[in-house]
Amino acid sequence: MTEFEFLEPDLLDEDLRMVREQVRRFVRERIVPFADAWEVSGEIPRELFRELGGLGFLGMRHPVEYGGGGLGPLASVVLGEELARSGYGGVASALTVHSDMSIGHIAHRGTHAQKLKYLPAACAGEKVGAVCVTEPNAGSDVAGLKTRAQRTPEGWVLNGCKTFITNGVYGDIFIVAARTDPEAKGSRGISLFIVDKENPGLKIARKFDKHGWRSSDTAELFFDDLKLAPEALLGEEGKGFYYIMSTFQNERLVVGALASGTCARAIELTVDYVRQREAFGKSLWDQQVVRNKLSWVASKAAAARALTYQCAQMIAEGKDTVREVSMLKAFAAETLQEVVHTCLQLHGGTGFIIGTPVERMARDARILTIGGGATEVMLEEVAKRM
């Protein structure tokens, strides 16, 4: 098997290079041999979270004093790339939603008591996190949320619905966005809450049967007079929209990493295939048009990856990255579509057969132009800052 490798960025120190090798070995030994069965079952085993957590990979961005590694954004990029190189987007999504898109809210904004309660178990993979923002009528338009949290003498009562929630069925810790001020307009009046799975007001309405990411569980959740203690409020009341927008920057960075890893895997599989497949008396690789197509998508994939690392470095330096990360989310996700569909085309009929890696990756890739902010929304964010 040919390994398609981009040049290793100089931004990575020896520790992160070691992390890459360790995660790559873990993917090769503990994910790839078993992931077909997870695609069928529609879930990944809890033991996988515990194994990765035990190795320290699920808490790399979180504070050391609560069980994390205290590393920066480049750690998230390395983890996302290597998990995506497995070729199983559902596995990569379930793990990175936990490590980088949900529990991070507690790490960044939680009180000492909240961090002490949730982070050690989350970093160890003993408890799985999910973030609940999207609703049936509010996705990329976060300001349109309708889920309501009403203050009571005992704390809060939560009512509403969330949909398309990754780790929604098997998660334990839910970060829920709800409107706490019904009179406030738009982005004002939204707050975040920590909801435990065992809360009796939480109901799993259904588990979705998805086009792609089939090994990750995705659910619709209802909150029916769900009672929360005062300490379930995460951060300041009314600041939830801004917290979500801030975390979106990291989520979109991880999308760039997932796209890069998937591109690399699709290209290396396809290079191997076209070198072996013969047509008209010679290998497909010997056809100039085939070599040119692969060279072109490899060039675009390299550009998307370079932007991913640039954005990670900018975030690490504390710079405002909304424009650049929006560019990254749009460009990397759309580049991935071109890569996987070119690779599927070059596989011919084989690429259309369920069970072929490139067929699965083409399905899994589709969601990345939608989830975490649709391409159209990302381009508007860029336009606002031009």
Known catalytic residues are 251
Q: Is 130 helix (H, G, I), strand (E, B) or coil?
A: strand
Alpha helices in the chain (DSSP H): 14-26, 35-41, 46-54, 73-84, 89-96, 103-109, 112-123, 240-276, 288-316, 322-346, 357-365, 375-384
Closest CA to 116 of 106, 125, 105: 106
- 170 is written with which tokens? 């098997």
Q: Which residues of 167-202 are buried (b: 16+ CB within 10 A; e: fewer)?
A: bbbbbbbbbbbbbbeeeeeebbbbbbbbbeeeeeeb
Tell me if 176 sits within 8 A of 193, measured CB to CB. Answer: yes
DSSP three-state, residue 194: strand
| Residue 88 and residue 364 in contact, taking contact as beta carbons nearer than 8 Å | yes
Dist CA 271 CA 77 (whole Å): 25
CA angle (321 as vertex; 12, 246 as ends), nearest 5: 100
Alpha carbon distance 97, 166 (integer Å): 7
**Exposure b/e, 65-87, CB count within 10 A at least 16 = b:** ebbbbebbbbbbbbbbbbbbbbb
In 3D space, the residue among 154, 30, 12, 155 whose CA is nearest the CA of residue 73 turns out to be: 12
Dist CA 299 CA 305 (whole Å): 10
For the chain, the distance separating the N- and C-terminal CA atoms, rounded to the nearest angstrom, is: 44
